Amino acid sequence: MTTTDFSRNPENYCYRHPDRMSFALCQRCHRTICPECQTQAAVGVICPECLRDQQKSRTPAQKRAQRRWGRGGGRTAVMAGAAPVTNWILAITAGAFLLDLLLGFAGFSLQSWLLFYAPYVYPQLGGFEVWRLVTPLLAHDGPLHIALNLLSLWMLGRLLEPMLGTWRYLALYLISGLGGSVAVALLSFGTPVVGASSALFGMLGALLVIGRSLGGNVTGILILLGINLVVGFAFGGGISWQAHVGGVVAGLLVGWVFSTTRRQDQSRRQVILLCVVVAGLLALLAVPPLIYGF
């Protein structure tokens, strides 16, 4: 049996820093690169030279995306691939789930304070727990549920947050969650709901509108949305299709707002339109009392 002496093989050293050993290869040119020379790509990492070539070969739609989303953190994030809000949401959501598990040993349920249950929102029914309109995003029903949602959030967040910037991205996430809760109040009033699925569907809806406005091919997004919505409709089984539909609608609206207010001089209009979307969603909460007579 023989062993390999890595220290004597030049291929095990960064091509830009010959004194630094590394086993990471650029996904495009397959040269060895150290951590300092690595830039995260869609798959693996790439070297500085390939990064420059990639930026030069961007499609017109990609160049417009970087140029149009303005300051708000968007331009820097596109270059750096940063997604701080996504990381914080992942950490807080996972923390809430673990805390709920720990508190369960003491007979206390954090989930019961976070879930959305429409009757708890209305003063006429003895409640006014308005935080429940968005806190279901932090509550999940079991390890598989939270694992799938966090994985989806990580994948979508790394794509959308660098494009939109931190504040726009956070607004999209929360408004989509609000849309899901409002839809449940309208279409399934007495059903308790947990999970971040409404926000995830909203992110897909926004990505659909934004991608279309930039001239991109959104067929894949349409197929993904369609499959997930059909699964919710057809199989049920604890899946709140109402929240999914509400999230998509809210995401489409937010995506439209972002797509029509790209310029720096439209930032005030963007904020106003987002407030209008939120106000419209909240106004829809006046409908259930008219339907159910309370």
- Which candidate in 176, 181, 240, 244 is catalytic? 244
**Catalytic site residue 197?**
yes
User: Which CA distances in Å does 87 have to 138, 154, 259?
Assistant: 14, 8, 25
Q: Cα(227)–Cα(245) distance, rounded to whole angstroms?
A: 13
Q: Is 244 a catalytic residue?
A: yes
55-to-10, 48, 71, 164, 205 alpha-carbon distances in Å: 29, 11, 19, 18, 27
Residues 132 and 197: their CA atoms lie apart, in Å, by: 15
Quickly count: other Cβ atoms within 10 Å of residue 117's Cβ. 20
- Exactly one of 197, 198, 213, 240 is catalytic; name it: 197
Q: Give 230's contacts (C-beta < 8 A, 6+ positions apart).
A: none
Catalytic residues: 197, 244
